[in-house]
Chains A and B, each alone.
Chain A
Amino acid sequence: MTFEWFYALPLRLRSFFRRKQVDQELNDELRDHLEQQIQQNLAAGMSPEEARYSALRALGGMTQIEQQCRDARGGNFLEDLVQDLRYGLRQLFRSPGFSVLAILCLTLGIGANAAVLSWIEGILFRPYPAVAHQERLLALAGTARGETGPTGLSWPDFLDLQRSCTLCDSFFVSKITGSTLNVGERAEVTTGSIVSANYFDAIGVHPILGRGFEPGEDVGSDSHPVAVISYQLWRNRFKGDPQIVGKMQRLNNIPHTIIGVAPEGFYGTFVGWAMHFWVPASMEETFESGGYKLEDRGARWIEAYVRLKPGVTRAQAQEEISATARRLENNYAATNRGRGITLWPLWQTPFNNAGTLLPTLEIMLAVGAFVLLIACANVGNLLLVRSFARRHEMTVRLAIGASRIRLLKQLLTEGLILSTLGAAGGLLVAYWCRHALVLLFPARSGVAMYLPGEIDWRVMSLSVAICLIATLIVGLVPAFQTRNLELAGALKAGSSGVVGARGRAWVRSGLVVFQVCLSFILLVGAALLLQSLQKIRTTSPGFSTTNVVETGVSLVSAGYDVPHAKIFQEELIARVRALPGVQSAAFARLSPLGYETYSSTPIAVDGYQPPPEEQPTVDYNQIGPDYFATLGIRLLSGREFTRADDENAQLVAIVNQTMLARYWRGQDPIDRRLQVKGRWARVIGVAADSKYESIRESPKPFFYVPLLQDFVRGPDLYIRTAQSLQSISAALLREVHALDANLALYEMITLQEQVDRSTSPQLVAVDLVSILGGLALLLAAVGLYGVMSYAVAQSIRELGLRMALGATAADLFRRVISRGLRLTAVGVLCGATAGLALTRLFGKLLYNVSPNDPLAFASAVAVMTITSVAACLLPAWRATRTDPARVLRD
């Protein structure tokens, strides 16, 4: 059968598209037959007229034969489709209110999914559109035994990997950095990358002007001040200067030669921020704090990627790289003991925003599916109502000989029209929302994040698939109803058949229960995330978040050398402490909960024997005097660093509680020895634990060393004061300018702001789930409203009768509301049961909240109930307005 159909396809297509010609040919053929018959008749001696009539009689009527021939060509599928499409479109225009509502529901459902898919594509799977062969790209990060999180890599380790890997095409480094860029009048913070010299070749991006880096430009210390700039930077800040190559630009106060301009549409290789300049790794000291690190195997600061050779799997490459890591462990035990190297797929990249957004986007997939199902249920409900109105039409069509298959085709075609329009709208919504994710993140330092969605053929085809699924759901619901159309009965009456109506009511109520169930689960999810966010925000980070502000002075970019920087810091801190309203002030290399990673060092402790195969490594921070007082971190014993703990004094350190517990087993560590970077320091104090990199981290060992004994030129400055941000900022700027008029302040923020920024991924998750949860709730409310209005309209006679028999308006009102609430209750019950299992999916996003938290479930019940009552109010009010006299008369 299908075989035959396939053979006939060219002829079918021909009779469809060349209809006129085919008809003409048929006509010619028959006419030819007629002529010959006439000739024969004439030859047989008939008169011309008789010959003609006889021939026509024998043939039996041209038009009938033509029609029969057309029929013989088979029921034309294409003709049917066009007919169905025409008919379906007419139906849409006949009831525009219905159509708009249905298409809107599908637009929201499909749009939400397409938007989420475009984010997943643009942020997780194809984050770097301009980069060649992203599918073979993997992220590279270090691991340390005894630590859970990934670490960076050291430059010497990276070079060894590059030399020894046979399964990889290329290794390259791309470490995010920033610089204040002064072009003309404007100064702006700009993001850029420190990269290995092979960067542009490895990713297959070729500068449109000038060149990329040459081999050897990543060797040496501050030896190759060259930079490639982004297309946008070139266009916006250098006005597209065609002579840009060879010009000088100060980056962190070192003049760099601009050697190239990257092509349009290339934003670097970091999820979350657009990169605007690239400098070779040899310029590391200029852009990174912590000194010269290209020869330091213990300094794990770089973020790297690897491109596998075609056909190589991640597992194979991982095996080879692990072997290399083991070799490095043996050869360089002091720095590499217990260190491994892991490959990550791009969507799990641990060092950019892919990793932080992954759990949120995973959840969004499920949430999107829920919204789509709810939207489909709504449209299904609408179609059911209409299929009731069209029952007569369907019956008549069946009666005059349409097959049920033909009817089903018609209904599916109508569903297809709706979902196609919905999908078109949905893709439009997704197109508008593709860059919207970034709006949910608060801007930092005036630089907006860059999180583009990508609508490519994969997103498109998935959306089409979603659209087809929606078509099936939406088209089959009313088709299900035509199944039990009873010809005779329906033709006779034309009004409501009781049994049919009850079946339909059951389906419609079922759909509403389904919607309530799904939106209830989303509400629980939103409530859980909200609670979790609250917990995160109210968790004490271990330092004061109020009355402490954070800023910094860019001494490195201003060209200060170490002795001058020391003098400057000395003078500035004295001036700040003297400012009215300032309680204390201190310097520290890194701020808690920032993006930059702390220095870490292998340590040794007198009397502590580490397990074999493990090199204890602990993060530390370089801090100035008064740090603990300023940040409000409790000192449990001993003393703070003072001005006297300088480069000439004995090396000292302050450890935290967890470190005390792990390496001194709780015994007093004061005056005991701790080896840091191979030199012994004396422990002089114990500080309370606080949060260092993330609010969600569990307590970890940490220690502090005096800034003057491990000096950096660009530390952050902390000020404890009750003054407003504006006034302290102005006062500080005056003091800084009194010392050096050319210096600029970093952005000044409160520590609360710092905490809020570090928890923004949680905020984004809450926002997204709340937005879509709200959407789902709205759709479910519309569904409930529809069902209740319809029920009231249908049972108007019963209501009138009840009123006539003495029921008051309040009775009827209660009756309708309670019926709506019954549906809601069933839905909530289903939702709660399913929710108990499903909310586990939120696990990764939750902090100190159980996925089955009763408060979240209770608040979801409350919101759902209130919404249901609101949705039933209007139908219930209408029920009370029933006029018994009129109803009974009708």
Chain B
Amino acid sequence: MSKPSDLVQGTLDMLILKILALEPLNGWAVSQRLKQMSSDVLGVSDGSLYPALHKLEHRRWITAHWKPSGNNRRAKFYSLTRLGRKQLEKESADWNRLSAAISGIVKLKEA
């Protein structure tokens, strides 16, 4: 339904991991950061963000803590785990390899 249509499956995971690698954030902040960083190009809906967060949590790549946020509410803050950092490194490397290969092919066609 709200799956990002042109987002390669798994890329969203990498983006979330990357964002959380900088600092622990709650869901809302992750969604804002996603929008800022990708300049709304990726069009990740908030609806698909939460299932992704929960999946990552279950894989133990990120972990969650409840912290008080303003207005007497508590918010769930996610942070990267050691396992998640490894995963991010792996996925970034994969991504770099893949994008290098693809851009290589694209350039080849132009030439």
A residues whose Cβ falls under 8 Å from a Cβ of B: 4, 7-8, 11-12, 25-26, 28-30, 32-33, 35-37, 58-61, 64-65, 68-69, 71-74
Contact = CB atoms under 8 A, between A and B. Distances in A.
A35 B71 contact: yes
Contacts of A73: 54-55, 58
Contact of A33 (B27, B54, B55): B27
Contacts of A25: 66, 76
Given A29-B75, A32-B73, A33-B28, A60 B58 contact: no
Overall SS of chain A's interface: helix
A17 to B, nearest CB: 16
Nearest to A55: B46
A74 B58 CA distance: 8
A29 B1 contact: no
A72 B59 CA distance: 10
B28 A68 contact: no
18 contacts: A8-B59, A11-B57, A11-B58, A26-B54, A29-B50, A30-B50, A32-B27, A32-B69, A33-B28, A58-B45, A59-B47, A60-B46, A64-B1, A65-B47, A68-B47, A68-B48, A69-B50, A72-B52
8 closest pairs, A vs B, by CB? A60-B47, A72-B55, A68-B51, A72-B51, A72-B54, A36-B28, A7-B60, A69-B54
B92 interface: no
A61 B76 contact: no
A61 B47 contact: yes
A18 B47 CA distance: 24
A172 B71 CA distance: 83
Nearest to B73: A32
Interface residues of B, number: 27
B5 interface: no
Contact of B75 (A32, A61, A69): A32
A172 B51 CA distance: 73
B39 to A, nearest CB: 17
A69 B46 CA distance: 12
Contacts of B52: 72
Contacts of B1: 60, 64
A64 B47 contact: yes
Contacts of A68: 47-48, 50-51
A161 B60 CA distance: 66
A37 B28 contact: yes
Contacts of B69: 32
Given A8-B60, A28-B74, A69 B51 contact: yes
Interface string B15-59: 000000000001110010000000000000111101110110111
Contacts of A69: 50-51, 54
B103 interface: no
B2 interface: yes
Interface in B52-97: 52, 54-55, 57-60, 66, 69, 71, 73-76, 83
A58 B58 contact: no
A755 B97 CA distance: 92
B73 A65 contact: no
Contact of A32 (B28, B48, B54, B58): B28
